[in-house]
Structures are given as C-alpha cells and as structure tokens.
Chains A and B, each alone.
Chain A
Amino acid sequence: MKTSVLAFGLVAATALTSPAHADKLDDIIGSGTLRCAVVLDFPPMGSRDENNNPIGFDVDYCNDLAKALGVTAEIVETPFPERIPALMSGRVDVGVASTSDTLERAKTVGMTVPYFAFEMAVTANDKTGIKSFEDMKGKVVGATAGTFEAIALEKQVKEWGAGEFRPYQTQADVFLALSQGQIDATVSTSTVAQANVKTGKFAGISVVGKAPFDTDYVALFTNREEYGLINYLNLFINQQVRTGRYAELYEKWVGGELPSLAVNGVYR
C-alpha cells in the first residue's frame, strides 16, 4: 500500500516536473510552419509559374497537409540529390518530393504509404528511329540521377551489355541532352514525359511507348524515428483519397486514368 502510494507520487512528480518530450509533429504544430522539400524541376509534380512561384501536384499536396495541420506551408526547393541532406540537416520537416519507396532508402528515412504512382514511359529523339523500349538496346540513354527510373534503366543497360547510361542532375538537363541528340532516349515517369514534350521547349522528341518497369510508388518521407508524424501522414494520405482530393489534384495536374495506390493481395 505504502509503496504504491509512493510509486504513484513519483510518477505524478515526474509527469509534472520533467518536460514532456516533444516530437516532430508537436514541433511543426508549435512552430506554425510546415517545411516541405519539393523538387521544382519535375513538372507536373513540381515546377515554377511565370512569376517564379512554386506550382504543381506536390506543392498543392504540401499546402493541403499544412491546412490539415493548421499551419502555413513553406516550400523548400530541393533538387533530387539534395532531398535527404535537407531533411537530415533539419532544413525541412517532410519530403513531398515524388520519392520512390525503395527498401534500400527506407533504411535511412521513414516512408509513408504511397501517395502517388507513376507509370514509366520512353521518350526518344525523333532522329534515332527508336519506337519502343527494346529499341533502346545499344543506344546512349539517360535519366535523372537518383530516381527510380535511373536506377532501373542503368541496371537494364548493364543487362543488355550494350549501349551507355548517363545520369544527369536535373530532369531539364535530361530533356535538353535528349533534344540536342547527346542521348538517344530516356525513361521517365509518363506524367513528366508528357508535360515536358507539351512545353515545346524541347524540339524533335516524342513519347514512344511504355517502359516495362514496375509501377513506381512514391511516398512522403520524414525522419525514420518520427512515428507520430509518419502515422499522421499515413492517415492524411488515406483521407486525401477518401475525400476525393487525390482524384481532384490528379485531374488538375495530370489528367486521365487515376492510378490506384493500393497493392492487390497484401496489406499496407
């Protein structure tokens, strides 16, 4: 009896005196600002309008998340290779950056459930006569360094044992190299391919077909140990789909058939 009273007293005392451990979710709500890492040379997911303001699916998604949290969103531009340094050095809270959820990467950062899914498409320089994925064998191909498709394409080139793979630092450089004929073809997400061909900035290239890579599911990410925040993000993604906001944003930025975020036959 006595001991239990003492124990209760101790617990109560610790609860009152020691400062509660604030996790990242608390920090975001407390600071009133949500800082999102977004890639802004990756239309239609992220880009800039004529007035240099960030726009795109990922930008809207970050704004929605900030609204749900009751804070203001701050878009931090991060090129693909700088997403993780930005997170680790505390410059951003969450990555809304079309990040493929590979197991290798999940050893480093905490991934949510998928919030978007990409199909892969082949875009080729018209002069090369490449008409399909198989035609790329033996050619010089390129992709944006550090992306899902770059890793898959480089592996494929090694398997073919012919041709050359070149990683460029930005998506814009890939399409520039492609339209100049420095590379013959590229594999990118079909949304990005369509958006870039449509801009008319890159002459003489067209989308020629699908690439037989797995669907590229992309996730939001934050620090691996921030379970509270990851939990919240998972529910947020679920709500975006449930409320129809995901479909609305997809229609606004991409259009066409809405990709399913569910994987058949397995949980999560």
Chain B
Amino acid sequence: MFNYTFHWNQALKALPQMLDGALVTLQIALLSMLIGVICALALTGFRLSGNRVLNGFATTWVEIARNTPALFQIYMAHFGLGNFGIHLSPYTALLVGIAFNNAGYLAENFRGALKAIPDTQTRAGRSLGMTAVQAFRYIVLPQMLRIAFLPTTNQMVWAILMTSLGVTVGMNTDLAGVTQELNARSFRTFEFFALAAVIYYIIAKAVTLAARALASRMFRY
C-alpha cells in the first residue's frame, strides 16, 4: 500500500533549479565524452602498437574501466586520490571518473570496429597504388567511424546517467545533486525524483534521436 499524497506544485516550483542542474549534467557528460574519445583513440593505438609496455598500460586501463563499478571509479577519483594528497573537487572527480570509464568502453568499441574491417580491403587499396596512410584514411577510417558511431552515442547516454553518481563525492550542482538537496529539505522524495527521472529521460532520448538523425545524414551511401 502506498500512502502518500503528491504535492506537485512544490516540485514544479523547483523546476528552474533542476533545469540548471540538468545543464551541468549535460556539460559534464559532453566533456567526459570528449576526453573519453581522445583517450580511447590513444588506448586503441597503444593496443595495436605491438609495444608491450603501451599495450599493457592500455589493457590495464580497459580492464579496470570495464570490470569495476563506475561508482567505485568516481569514489576513487575523489577519496582514493585524496588519500595521497591529490585533491580533486567533486566536479573534477566526477568528470575524471566518467571520462576514465568512457575511455575504457570506447577503446573496446574502436578496436572492435577496426577488427570488423577485413584486411583484404587495405590490401586491395594498396594494390591500387595507395600508401598505407591513404589506405587507412580513405578505406578503413570512414568505415570504422560508421561502425563505432552508434555504440559511441550509447556511451554518451550512459555518461549522462552516470553523472548521477556524483552525489557520492559531494556534488551538489548537477541534476542528481540538486534533486537530493531539494529532497532533504522538504522530504518530498517521490515528486522530485520523478521529475528528475523525466528530465534524465528527455535528455537521454534527445541525444539518441539526434545521433540517429546525424548518422542517417552522415553515413548515406
């Protein structure tokens, strides 16, 4: 039995505050993706480089990022590093934690996408007189981007949702943080959380739809 009367007007009054929080959420997610993609490209390069040290570094990163909870990664970025006297603000710790996680997953996406393109295509390109760089640039890369694009947008959605873990390291300006605070003040848990869920849903859905529209324009034959 659910014995609760909803006070929606109180939640709606706080909507502007929550939307400000949503902007911070989106900002962190975008930045973390940007950093994540750059790191992931480097990691992919490391893993294909044949250098044992670089390969080991990249493999360790990917293994930790993919096989431990994001909560743990963010908590470590704040309290773990804090133990060694490195103090990241909640915002930075959250950004670093999510970017670390993104890079791990994206590196695997990129590697998988590269592997999906048969070697014979590169060889065919080379036999037409292309240099190795040209063959990569004109044959492999466009196909790789196409294959990796949609998994990358999935990671973006995941990054948006992961920002909500920032509350564990004292984040109070993103959507989850603002919601928690409003909740603590008034105890109107269900209104605020329901509203936050709707906002998260709208942002995530918008990202997915935008990516799909972009993909259908960019990747036409």
Shortest Cβ distance from residue A62 to the other chain B in the assembled complex, whole angstroms: 20
B185 interface residue, CB < 8 Å from A? yes
Q: Are B187 and A105 in contact (CB under 8 A)?
A: yes
Interface-facing stretch out of A42-50, A145-153, A242-250: A145-153
What are the 4 A-B residue pairs with the smallest beta carbon separation, nearest first?
A146-B184, A166-B170, A180-B82, A108-B187
Q: Are A105 and B170 in contact (CB under 8 A)?
A: no
Shortest Cβ distance from residue A6 to the other chain B in the assembled complex, whole angstroms: 36
User: Which residues in B have their C-beta under 8 angstroms from that of A151?
Assistant: 184-185
Shortest Cβ distance from residue A150 to the other chain B in the assembled complex, whole angstroms: 7
Q: Are B2 and A146 in contact (CB under 8 A)?
A: no
A181 interface residue, CB < 8 Å from B? yes
A163-193 vs B, CB cutoff 8 Å, 1 = contact: the mask equals: 0011111000100110011100000000000
B59 interface residue, CB < 8 Å from A? no
Shortest Cβ distance from residue A79 to the other chain B in the assembled complex, whole angstroms: 11
Q: Are B90 and A145 in contact (CB under 8 A)?
A: no
Shortest Cβ distance from residue A126 to the other chain B in the assembled complex, whole angstroms: 15
CA distance A129 to B100 in the complex (A): 35
User: Which residues in A have their C-beta under 8 angstroms from that of B183?
Assistant: 81, 84, 146
Q: Are A84 and B82 in contact (CB under 8 A)?
A: no
User: Which residues in A have their C-beta under 8 angstroms from that of B189?
Assistant: 84-85, 88
Q: How large is the interface on A (under 10, 10 to 19, 20 to 34, 35 or more residues)?
A: 20 to 34
Q: Are B181 and A145 in contact (CB under 8 A)?
A: yes
Q: Are A107 and B181 in contact (CB under 8 A)?
A: no
Across the interface, B170 reaches (CB within 8 A) one of A81, A146, A177, namely A177
CA distance A105 to B183 in the complex (A): 10
B190 interface residue, CB < 8 Å from A? yes
User: Which residues in A have their C-beta under 8 angstroms from that of B186?
Assistant: 104-105, 107-108
Across the interface, A177 reaches (CB within 8 A) one of B2, B7, B79, B185, namely B79
Residue from B1, B79, B180, B187 with most neighbouring chain A CB atoms (10 Å): B187
A98 interface residue, CB < 8 Å from B? no
Across the interface, A146 reaches (CB within 8 A) one of B85, B168, B169, B180, namely B180
Whether A104 touches B185, Cβ cut-off 8 Å, given contacts A89-B2, A167-B180, is yes
CA distance A145 to B78 in the complex (A): 17
Q: Are A150 and B184 in contact (CB under 8 A)?
A: yes
Q: Which residues of A contact B (CB under 8 A)?
A: 80-81, 84-85, 88-90, 102, 104-105, 107-109, 142, 145-147, 150-151, 165-169, 173, 176-177, 180-182, 223, 225
Q: How many residues of B contact A (CB 8 A)?
A: 28
Q: Which residues of B contact A (CB under 8 A)?
A: 1-4, 7, 78-79, 82-83, 85, 87, 90, 167-170, 172, 177, 180-181, 183-190
User: Which residues in B have their C-beta under 8 angstroms from that of A81?
Assistant: 180, 183-184
Shortest Cβ distance from residue B43 to the other chain A in the assembled complex, whole angstroms: 29
Residue from A109, A146, A150, A180 with most neighbouring chain B CB atoms (10 Å): A180
User: Which residues in B have their C-beta under 8 angstroms from that of A169?
Assistant: 167-168
Q: Are A108 and B181 in contact (CB under 8 A)?
A: no
User: Which residues in A have their C-beta under 8 angstroms from that of B180?
Assistant: 81, 145-146, 167
CA distance A145 to B83 in the complex (A): 22
Shortest Cβ distance from residue B80 to the other chain A in the assembled complex, whole angstroms: 10
User: Which residues in A have their C-beta under 8 angstroms from that of B190?
Assistant: 85, 88
User: Which residues in B have their C-beta under 8 angstroms from that of A90?
Assistant: 1-3
Whether A80 touches B7, Cβ cut-off 8 Å, given contacts A166-B172, A168-B170, is no
Q: Are B187 and A167 in contact (CB under 8 A)?
A: no
Q: Are A182 and B184 in contact (CB under 8 A)?
A: no
Whether A223 touches B3, Cβ cut-off 8 Å, given contacts A109-B187, A177-B82, A181-B85, is yes
User: Which residues in B have their C-beta under 8 angstroms from that of A173?
Assistant: 79, 168, 170
Whether A167 touches B3, Cβ cut-off 8 Å, given contacts A85-B189, A105-B187, A180-B79, is no
Q: Are B87 and A180 in contact (CB under 8 A)?
A: yes
Shortest Cβ distance from residue B170 to the other chain A in the assembled complex, whole angstroms: 4
Name 13 extra pairs, CB < 8 A, besides A105-B185, A167-B167, A173-B168: A80-B184, A81-B183, A85-B190, A88-B189, A102-B185, A104-B185, A108-B187, A145-B181, A145-B184, A166-B172, A168-B169, A169-B167, A180-B83
Q: Are A182 and B187 in contact (CB under 8 A)?
A: no
8 pairs across A/B with beta carbons < 8 Å? A84-B187, A89-B2, A104-B187, A105-B186, A145-B184, A146-B184, A151-B184, A167-B167
User: Which residues in A have their C-beta under 8 angstroms from that of B79?
Assistant: 173, 176-177, 180, 182
CA distance A182 to B90 in the complex (A): 9
